[in-house]
Amino acid sequence: MKQKLYHGKVLNASKFSFLGKYMRAVVFERFGSPDVMRLLEVPIPEPEANQALIKIEACGVNFADTLMRRNLYPISKPLPFTPGFEFAGVIHKLGSGAIHNKYGLAVGDRVVALGTGGYSDFACAEIGNIYKIFDGLTFEEAVSLPGQGLTALFMLEESHLRKTDTILIHAAAGGVGSFAVQIAAIMGAGQVVATASSDEKLESIAQLVDKVKPCLQLDLVNYGQSDWMRNVSRLTSGLGIDILFDGVGGEIFKNSIDCMAFGGRIVVFGQASTQPTTIDPSVLMLKDQSIVGFSLHKYVFNRTRMQRGLDFLMTAVLEGRLFSNVQATFPLAQASEVHQLLEDRKTIGKLLLLP
């Protein structure tokens, strides 16, 4: 087993103990490439009055984490910083406030939370952002739902899909994309065009949809090929896409405008390419098209909406109508490698860190 570095001391990770006041955490003290992250021994945090301390069993890894590490995220994070905004585990300790009673939370509850510092053994989260996990759901299944599952669900709900709509989902083999394809099928979308950067990723999408709704009209397009826009036009009989969901940006986004139908709408929820995009707004006038942005942030403080969304997703997973699409799990010590995989666009589905 590899040896890990804690505060300058080389320790054997297999002998690390939680006895006392310390835990492991992935920390970066400067912005940069994946290798700026180190696994350190740090104090276990103390929950404030409106928080709970969670013993983490699984933490989601998201492309947004890599942007934070590179200081490219819209909201800059103070250093030193531990990534990980979605994590699942067991409530270890409650803060001194009584607000947890409002949501019926108690020590020992299995929960999933949105917060910060999830790449660690323990993390604190605001009581209002902690949700009980339904019985029968694993930590691994639950942790993929708040960030990527809810992003896909709320984007589709806000788009008011009609059965006659043709929708296109870029990067459909990724975390948000794989949920969006499945949820679109559950909502009864007429035609879904799913794109990815390789045939292997496209095959994974097809296999996933076969589990959910084999009768969905699903068309697959490799946007790594130069003629992908022509393929989209052919698949829509030249009419174009009604609603397009883009988390890639760059040239993919720019070329997507040519794929849109009259009155079509592009929903932007990310920029995985990190490429700057410049367009002439007047091109939207020709076909009465629109571009809107989407972020989960505006929902995080709406406890009722979040709870309703998570109830829907957890129920769908338990009933076998939705799959969390967790493809691989890694120990905390491999956080740097996981970030590199994400940045190299070599991943399919959801990746997790397991403390």
**Block residue for tokens 């975390």:** 175
Find the CATH number of the domain harbouring 191. Answer: 3.90.180.10
**DSSP code string of 267-293:** EE---TT-------GGGGTTTT-EEEE
Residues 176 and 240 in one domain: yes
Asked if residue 211 is part of any domain, the answer here is: yes
Last residue of a domain, one of 293, 313, 339: 293
Residues 154 and 286 in one domain: yes
Pairing of strands 191-196, 217-222: parallel
> Per the structure, how many domains does the chain have?
2
pLDDT band at 99 (very low <50, low <70, confident <90, very high): confident
Tens of pLDDT, residues 279-289: 888 889 989 99
Residues 163 and 262 in one domain: yes
Residues 92 and 187 in one domain: no
Tens of pLDDT, residues 12-43: 444 455 556 899 999 999 999 999 999 999 99
Secondary structure (3-state) at 193: strand
Nearest residue to 354 via CA among 84, 134, 2: 84
Query: What distance in Å separates the CA atoms of residue 310 and residue 225, rounded to the nearest whole number?
Result: 36
User: At CB < 8 A and 24+ separation, what contacts does 67-75 make?
Assistant: 67/274, 69/28, 69/31, 69/32, 69/34, 69/36, 69/37, 69/339, 70/31, 70/32, 70/33, 71/31, 72/274
- For residue 6, is pLDDT > 60? no
Query: What distance in Å separates the CA atoms of residue 221 and residue 143, rounded to the nearest whole number?
Result: 29
Residues 134 and 215 in one domain: no
Asked if residue 302 is part of any domain, the answer here is: no
Tens of pLDDT, residues 137-160: 999 999 999 999 999 999 999 998
Domain that holds residue 86: 3-144+324-353
Asked if residue 61 is part of any domain, the answer here is: yes
Last residue of a domain, one of 245, 276, 293: 293
Residues 41 and 117 in one domain: yes
Are 312 and 287 in contact, with CB atoms under 8 Å apart? Answer: no
Tens of pLDDT, residues 46-74: 999 999 999 999 999 998 899 999 998 87
How confident is the model at residue 148, as a pLDDT? 92
